[in-house]
Amino acid sequence: MRLIVLERNQWRAAAIEINNEFTDIWAETLTNRKPSQGDIILGKVSSVLDGKNAAFISLGSGKPGLLNGEEFVLAQGKKTAGEPLPAVSECVEEGQAILVQVKHPGVDRKGPIVTELIKLTLDHLVYMPYAGYSAVSKQLTTNREELLQFADKYCIEQEGVIFRTSAGYIKEEALLAELQSHRKEWLRILEQSSTQRAPSMVKKNSGLGEEVSKLYPLHRVSSLAANSSEAVSSFFPLLSKNATLMELNEKKKKLDKLEDTILNMKKTIKMGKANLHIEETHALTAIDVDTGGVKLGTKNETHFEVNRLAVDEIAKQLRLRNISGLIVVDFLRVEKEEQQNLHALMKSKEETDKRLKVGGFTKLGLFEMQRKKSGLPLSRFV
């Protein structure tokens, strides 16, 4: 497994390569002064909308952030206790200073989405000072009960932690030391925010390296190729102790390959003679499956076989393009039994893409999915 990090004037991209094929690509802008994902900001409540169960938070630059009702600390406490969620006006009032974290940066006409339920991430733990629960990475199949017992033993008040995959392979003392480090960082953030005037930046996210490490087990990466010293210093400490930097010739080939992959992404993908058309809009991503005139038996047999190929290609393209939000697929029309088979095939992709949630066919025959947002789609850079 290899990690390739390409930096250009206005953007940086990171890609995972397995068996000489890219499986995942993430990107970030380098010239954007607006709040970015993971930033912790002392914001100011600009409006409270009980009817929409949300509030808008001034972040100091760019558009106000949207803070949904379930993302308040008070609401999380009520939820944990099994009580009804409070109205937004019970949580905040206009003009109030509030410490929030950017969940998703603003895109085009939409402002950022923010939360009061802040998360801090290090090597093995995601620390959540107000979560009221703990969890274990789905990729970790061993020591799950022991880790949850650790959380019960050491977490205090509303604290919670998410154990990352690597947490299953280190000693309890190391986990406790990291938990204590998180606590110190959180106290520092609270102290710093108490002396600042809203709105103002409290803690800037360390960038793409931190975001990728939350989504992917980077400790499995064996080698790194990067074309800037800043990218090396950002990503290399996140890799295993045995990871190496690629030799110059190999590094150039990998970087060129990644740049070609990003710049040559097209809306239409060939699947033999069949085609997949991807159209990303502000509201959703629409994917259309087209036979391209291919014949593989009867009409129903042809449609099902092309749809089956499309399932694999769709799952691949979602990760390569970092597509998120609502996704609607217009599969070729097939019988009810084949629809059920397609649903099962698409559902199986949730195992390899933890951000993906599969819905199913609508009454009109469209297929709905949703993918958790993390960073910007690759279409923003090409």
CA–CA gap between residue 285 and residue 242 (Å, rounded):
40
Instruction: Tell me the HSE value of 203 on the side-chain side, using a 13 A CA sphere.
Output: 21
Amino acid at 56: F
C-beta neighbour count of 188 within 10 angstroms: 12
Amino acid at 168: G
CA–CA gap between residue 251 and residue 244 (Å, rounded):
12
CA–CA gap between residue 19 and residue 15 (Å, rounded):
13
Q: In sequence order, what are the beta bridge partners of 65?
A: 57
CA–CA gap between residue 71 and residue 113 (Å, rounded):
10
CA 209 to each of CA 27, 121, 235: distance values in angstroms, whole numbers, following the listed order? 10, 11, 5
List strands edge to edge, sheet with 125-128. 120-121, 125-128, 160-163, 135-136
Q: In sequence order, what are the beta bridge partners of 114?
A: 67, 102
pLDDT value for 208? 81
pLDDT value for 373? 82
Displacement of CA 71 from its chain's centroid (Å): 17
Name which of 288, 255, 261, 254 is nearest 274 in CA terms: 288
Per-residue tens of pLDDT for the chain, all 382 residues:
999 999 988 888 999 999 999 999 998 887 656 788 889 999 999 999 999 999 999 998 888 999 999 999 999 999 988 999 999 999 999 999 999 999 988 776 678 999 999 999 887 899 999 999 999 988 888 889 999 999 999 999 999 999 988 888 889 999 999 999 999 999 999 999 999 999 998 988 767 887 787 778 888 899 999 998 888 888 888 888 899 999 999 999 999 999 999 988 999 999 999 999 999 988 899 999 999 888 888 898 999 999 999 999 999 999 999 999 999 999 999 999 999 999 999 999 999 898 999 999 999 999 999 998 877 788 887 6
| Structure tokens given for 146 | 């022991």
Q: In sequence order, what are the beta bridge partners of 127?
A: 120, 161
| Radius of gyration of the CA atoms of the chain, in A | 22
Report angle CA 60, 64, 65 to the nearest 5 degrees: 110
Tell the residue number behind the tokens 């490490």, with chain if given. 213
Q: In sequence order, what are the beta bridge partners of 133?
A: none
pLDDT value for 32? 58
CA–CA gap between residue 234 and residue 28 (Å, rounded):
13
Give the pTM: 0.65
CA–CA gap between residue 168 and residue 85 (Å, rounded):
35
C-beta neighbour count of 290 within 10 angstroms: 17
Name which of 261, 283, 274 is nearest 314 in CA terms: 274
Name, in order, each residue with C-beta under 8 angstroms of 312's C-beta and a sequence gap of 6 or more. Answer: none
CA–CA gap between residue 198 and residue 201 (Å, rounded):
9
pLDDT value for 33? 65
What is the DSSP secondary-structure string of 182-194? HHHHHHHHHHHHH
Domains and CATH numbers, the chain: 1-30+216-256 (3.30.420), 40-118 (2.40.50.140), 268-381 (no CATH)
pLDDT value for 89? 95
